[in-house]
């Protein structure tokens, strides 16, 4: 936690955001471990939707992991918060309903430290709702960067590499690549498909 905020007992909202493979979960696990050393009472949540890895853990791409509660929506988080909880961590926060925005504020206003991690843009490069609302109301924002798979520059976008009409397509290295602004092209998948059709 930043020095400035360390000196206060008030609640706090911290958002870790960025594209895929930017180390968001890893950063969150680091902050949680720091809170564990400080003997804080912590609860960790993630949405049911994220079934990439073993279900009741949050796992970083480098395989750091911590046990967590898997929940359907923001109201289920509210109902599972224990009285003694001091720190609430929420991974893949972009997959929650808009109720998550109010809940995060509610918890921080009660004096809790809320740490969220999520994708700031979707596969089209558009803001991933409700992240913009969390971003506007957070106290600390940590933007993470990945490495572009084409040129090695800092990456800020998640490039989808398989065709899909779905707005949300949960996956990892086989479906997405980190790209810089120059090498990100949401129409790339379509273009590849047309080329393949022409070859046939
Ligand atoms: Zn690039």
Other CB atoms within a 10 A radius of the CB of residue 151 amount to 11
pTM of the model as a whole: 0.87
Whether residue 151 lies inside any domain: the answer is: no
> Which of the pair, 156 or 198, is modelled with greater confidence?
156
| Domain range enclosing 33 | 3-144
Work out the pLDDT band at 194, boundaries 50, 70, 90.
very low
* Cα 136 to averaged position of ligand 1 atoms, centre (Å): 28
Q: What is the CATH number of the domain that holds 86?
A: 3.40.50.300
Whether residue 170 lies inside any domain: the answer is: no
Catalytic residue among 14, 76, 86, 92: 92
Average pLDDT over residues 35-61: 82
Whether residue 156 lies inside any domain: the answer is: no
In contact, 166 and 39? CB cutoff 8 Å: no
In contact, 24 and 18? CB cutoff 8 Å: yes
Whether residue 67 lies inside any domain: the answer is: yes
Based on the structure, what is the number of domains in the chain?
1
Whether residue 14 lies inside any domain: the answer is: yes
Query: Is 166 assigned a catalytic role?
Result: no
């Amino acid at each position: 936690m930043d020095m400035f905020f360390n000196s206060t007992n008030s609640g706090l909202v911290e958002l870790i955001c960025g594209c895929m493979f930017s180390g968001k979960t890893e950063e969150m696990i680091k902050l949680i471990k720091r809170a564990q050393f400080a003997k804080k009472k912590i609860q960790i949540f993630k949405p049911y939707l994220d079934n990439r890895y073993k279900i009741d853990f949050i796992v970083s791409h480098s395989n750091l992991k911590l046990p967590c509660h898997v929940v359907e929506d923001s109201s289920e988080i509210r109902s599972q918060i224990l009285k003694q909880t001091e720190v609430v961590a929420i991974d893949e926060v972009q997959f929650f309903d808009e109720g998550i925005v109010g809940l995060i504020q509610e918890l921080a206003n009660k004096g809790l430290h809320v740490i969220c991690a999520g994708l700031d843009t979707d596969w089209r490069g558009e803001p991933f709702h409700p992240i913009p609302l969390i971003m506007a109301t957070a106290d600390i924002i940590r933007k993470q960067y990945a490495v572009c798979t084409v040129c090695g520059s800092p990456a800020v976008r998640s490039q989808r590499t398989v065709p899909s009409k779905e707005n949300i397509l949960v996956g990892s290295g086989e479906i997405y690549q980190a790209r810089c602004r120059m090498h990100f092209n949401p129409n790339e998948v379509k273009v590849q498909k047309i080329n393949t059709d022409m070859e046939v």
